[in-house]
Amino acid sequence: MKYKLGVDIGGTFTDFFLVSDTGESVMHKTLSTPEDSSIGFITGIKELAEKLSIDENKFIQSIDTIVHGTTVATNTLLTLQGAKTALITTKGLRDALEMRRGIREEQYNNHYQNVTPLVPRYLRITMDERIDADGNVVTPINESELDEIVEKLKSENVESVAVCFMNSYLNDTHEKKVTEYLQNQLTNVYITASYEVLPSIRFYERVSTTVVNAYIGVVVDKYIASLLGKLDTLNFKGGFSIMQSNGGVVSPEVVRKIPAVTVLSGPAAAPIAGTFYAELLGFDNCITMDMGGTSFDASMVVDGQCVTSTDGDINRYRIALPSLDIITIGAGGGSMGWVDSGGLLQMGPQSAGSLPGPVCYGQDGEVPACTDADLVLGYLDPNYFAGGKYKLNKKKAEEVLEKKLATPLGLSVTETAAGMYRVINMNMAQGVRQVSVERGYDPREFLMIVAGGAGSIHAGEICRELEISMFVVPNVAPIFCATGMLLGDLKHDYVRSYITRFSEINKDYFLKLYDEMTKESIQTLSKEGIEQENINLIPTLDLRYVGQYHEVPLQVEMNDVLSLNFNEIKKVFHKEHNRQFGYSLKDEGTELEMINVRLRAIGVTEKPNSFAKIDNSEPILNPEFALKSKRDAYIPESEKVQEIPVFDGDKLTGKYTIKGPAIIEQVNTTIFLGNTYDCHTGISGSFIVFNREKYPNGFNLHKEKLN
């Protein structure tokens, strides 16, 4: 038996998804160890061996692939525990990093402070050098200046250095020269330059991304070394790769050089897993939502591809590398309910976290949270939280909810809990609306895929608000990202700036850029063991109409690039611009301008044998045998409490239809069906929940469309 293992380290739990070469899968969760997350990683592997009753050594020998999602980079940025970093930049432009183009996000809040720059001003060192806007050297590097800089870096005990010069995207010779010089002089210092990290136009974006890379580099490097060391000690001989923010995986060697590609390492796997489930069920488009303890993530898959953007940031630090477009809002099980000074009920964004947590956890939490409302409304069983591992204190939740919210609002406890449920659902629906509308998509045309344990209590109402007619709770919902880890291909993104009007494109130069990027990508992928025939190259051009300020990334065909078929590219651009913004300037004859050329190189990896299959058999069985109990729950459509059936979800492996209102319970997942919903099973333990009015005769996968 051979295995593939996905490992996703989160704040509270480390999730594991193991698939054997025969398609059997195992889910596992263990507590995270934030002080050194490689400890939890190894513990989990040992626990898995125990779970399977296989000898530990034998088990490790039989894992041929581990794919890992890590929060080390993100946490370093959130807690500001990165390396002591210096920046070497162009004379006169010392403060671009800290100025952040002069933005203050909260315009009415005079106490709102700028972010602490990752490199303090005294470590931002400028050099008298200059390359002009055409890429010509105006002021060459003076080496004697470098000697002084090296002395300063040594005396300050700097651990990491970022190099970023003005206009280096047009001419990287100065950055190269300085980087090489520093590498020779400062052997134990982490050195990174913008031409390696993000060689594209926009100085602020580039300097910020390069500095983030330097700042997290030392920490990520140490973590990977420690983890690889531990795996080595255990005699692990399989392949090891890491999830990137762009939804692809990559070798640890690349991550050690450009650690900034991992800032969304964990959450990026959700839309990858979403793509898999959407395809399995016969859809091209889906939205994945993941509701955790403190936050709610949503992202989109369109035409089978995850939506990507280059305007991300973490903790207000800009990272302009391509990453999956994931929006995060402060809504989760721990989101606290409060009454504002105008007497209106609000939910979050503050969270009770896991300590003290919601009131019902019985850990001295004194502020009612979303989970308390879910408990009071009957969606959660106080004796079956995490499969009965924890007991929830419903009485205390009701008492605190009454005192803190119901009394000031003049409502009953149930009305208040229902209000909390409604308000937080509205917040999450708005988050989804934002991620879709901003990219020019209508959420009604999407299937919703629900990850995370708490999400499936709320998904029905979120979907009703957005008029989404169907949501899916996959069998792997509680460890969704760990699943996505195993489904990602190797992905490398390359970019070069080439600013020119279409009529003035220098064809040789344009082809040369693609040739360069192609060679580099093939070299990297073959080092990662990918054969030529498993490489897909996807070019993207960042284009705009002359006179516009925002460029639009346009995915194009490699054939059109190589054959210089710019007419076809123009046609596609007009169409895409019209889709996103509602107009094109095709008839006006406005010329196109190119800003960047990009290449995404995909190395198709071997996927696990399918662990989810659709049962196409005819009989739809009666689910009564799986009925666990009945309990009172709040029905949002009728705004009434009513006794409804509770099913044991783990028993529903066959093909059944559950009529709402009902609750389906599993160890880590609770699904609530309101009285407008019905649910189908029969997809290896996944649940398909659909709006009964729209599909009165049930939903036939692969035969019907969403409406």
Partner 1 sequence: MIKIDKILLSIFQRAFKSITDEMSISLTKTTRSPILCEAKDFVTGLYDAKGNMLEQTENLPILSFSLGPVCRVILDQYGENISPGDVIIHNDVFSMGNQNNDVAIFKPIFHDNTLIGWAAAKGHQADIGGAVQGGYNPNATEVWQEAIRIPAVKLYEKGKLREDVWNLIFANIRLTMVQEDIKAQIGACTLGERRLQSLVGKYGIETYEAHKQELFSATETMMRSEIAAIPNGVYHGDSMVFYDGKHPGTEFTVRAKVTVEDEAITFDFSESSEQTKGFVNGTYTSTCSAITLSFLQMVNPNIPHNEGMIKPLTYIVPEGIILNASYPAATTFGNHLCPQVADSIAKALSTAIPEKITAGWNHLLCSLFTGNHPKTNEKYVDICFLGLKGGSGALKNSDGYDHIGMIDASGGILDQDYEMFEQQTPHALLYHEYLQDSGGPGQWRGGLGVETKIKLGGDDTTMVVFGDGNVKTPYGLFGGKTSVLNKISLTLPDGTEKIPMSKDMIEGIPTGTLYHQIAGGGGGYGNPENRNKISVLKDVKNEVVSESQATNVYGIEMKEKS
Stretch that binds partner 1, among 162-170, 449-457, 623-631, 698-706 (CB under 8 A): 162-170
The closest of 103, 314, 349 to 212, measured between CA atoms, is 314
Using the rule CB under 8 A, give the single segment among 232-240, 282-290, 425-433, 688-696 that binds partner 1. Answer: 425-433
Binding of residue 409 to partner 1 (CB under 8 A): yes
Residue 121 contacts partner 1 per CB under 8 A: yes
Asked if 418 touches partner 1 (CB under 8 A), the answer is: yes
| Dihedral sign (CA 586, 588, 591, 594) | negative
Half-sphere exposure of 651 (CA within 13 A, CB side): 14
Q: Among 91-99, 145-153, 308-316, 655-663, which window interacts with partner 1 (CB under 8 A)?
A: 91-99
- Which residues ranging from 518 to 557 are in contact with partner 1 (CB under 8 A)? 547-550
Q: How far is the CB of 189 from partner 1 (least distance, A)?
A: 21
- Residue from 422, 570, 571, 694 binding partner 1 (CB under 8 A): 422
State yes or no: residue 157 binds partner 1 (CB under 8 A).
no
Q: Which of 602, 594, 596 is nearest to 569 (CA)?
A: 594
CB 289 within 8 A of CB 462: yes
Give yes or no for residue 411 binding partner 1 (CB under 8 A): yes
Look at the alpha carbons of 338, 339, 340, 344 in this order and tell me if their dihedral is positive or negative. Answer: positive
Q: Which residue stretch of 93-101, 182-190, 302-310, 441-449 sits at the interface with partner 1 (rule: CB under 8 A)?
A: 93-101
- Residue 355 token pair: 């300590």
Assess 152 for contact with partner 1 (CB under 8 A): no
* Smallest distance, partner 1 to C-beta of residue 496, A: 14
Distance (Å, rounded) from C-alpha 18 to C-alpha 664? Answer: 25
- Answer for the pair 451, 477: CB distance below 8 angstroms, yes or no: yes
Contact (CB, 8 A) for 13 and 30: yes
> Which of 448, 451, 528, 446 minimizes the C-alpha distance to 483?
451
Contact flag: residue 516 with partner 1 (CB under 8 A): no
Q: How many residues bind partner 1 (CB under 8 A)?
A: 67
Between 205 and 221, name the residue whose CB sits nearer to partner 1: 205
Q: Does 94 bind partner 1 (CB under 8 A)?
A: yes
For partner 1, the closer of residues 342 and 619 by Cβ is 342
Instruction: Say whether residue 132 binds partner 1 (CB under 8 A).
Output: yes
Contact region with partner 1 (CB under 8 A), list: 26-34, 390-398, 429-437, 613-621: 429-437
Of these, 205, 221, 325, 461, which contacts partner 1 (CB under 8 A)? 205
Is 586 a binding residue for partner 1 by CB under 8 A? The answer is no
Task: Give the C-alpha separation, 458 to 450, whole Å.
Answer: 10
Residue 647 has phi, psi (to 5 degrees) of -105, 150
Give the max Cα distance, the chain: 83
203 binds partner 1 (CB under 8 A): yes
Helix axis angle, 203-233 to 72-79, nearest 10°: 130
Q: How far is the CB of 415 from partner 1 (least distance, A)?
A: 7
- Give the pair of three-digit tokens for residue 599: 């290449």
Instruction: Look up residue 630 and give its two tokens.
Output: 């009945």
Question: Quick one: three-class SS letters along 249-281?
Answer: EECHHHHHHCHHHHCCCCCCHHHHHHHHHHHHH
Only one of the segments 289-297, 435-443, 554-562, 627-635 lies at the binding site for partner 1 (rule: CB under 8 A); that segment is 435-443
Choose which of 167, 244, 584, 668 interacts with partner 1 (CB under 8 A). Answer: 167
Q: Which two tokens stand for residue 328?
A: 């995060």
CA neighbours closer than 13 Å in the CB half-sphere of residue 86? 23
- Choices 55-63, 200-208, 242-250, 566-574 (CB under 8 A): range interacting with partner 1: 200-208
Binding region for partner 1 (CB under 8 A) out of 7-15, 76-84, 165-173, 660-668: 165-173
Work out which of 112, 142, 444, 631 binds partner 1, going by CB under 8 A: 112
* 356 binds partner 1, rule: CB under 8 A: no
For partner 1, which is the closer residue by CB, 33 or 126? 126
SS3 letters across 100-155: HHHCCCCCCCCCCCCCCCCCCHHHEEEECCEECCCCCEEECCCHHHHHHHHHHHHH
Beta partners for residue 339, in sequence order: 345
Based on the shown chain and the rule CB under 8 A, indicate whether residue 242 belongs to the binding site for partner 1: no
Burial 434-454 (b: 16+ CB within 10 A, else e): ebbeeeebebebbbbbbbbbb
582 makes contact with partner 1 (CB under 8 A): yes
Cα 535 from Cα 626, distance rounded (Å): 47
- Is 187 near partner 1 (CB under 8 A)? no
Contacts with partner 1 by CB under 8 A lie at: 92-96, 98-99, 101-114, 120-122, 132-133, 166-167, 169, 201-205, 340-346, 409-411, 415, 418-419, 422-423, 426-427, 430, 433-434, 437-438, 440, 499, 501, 547-550, 580-583
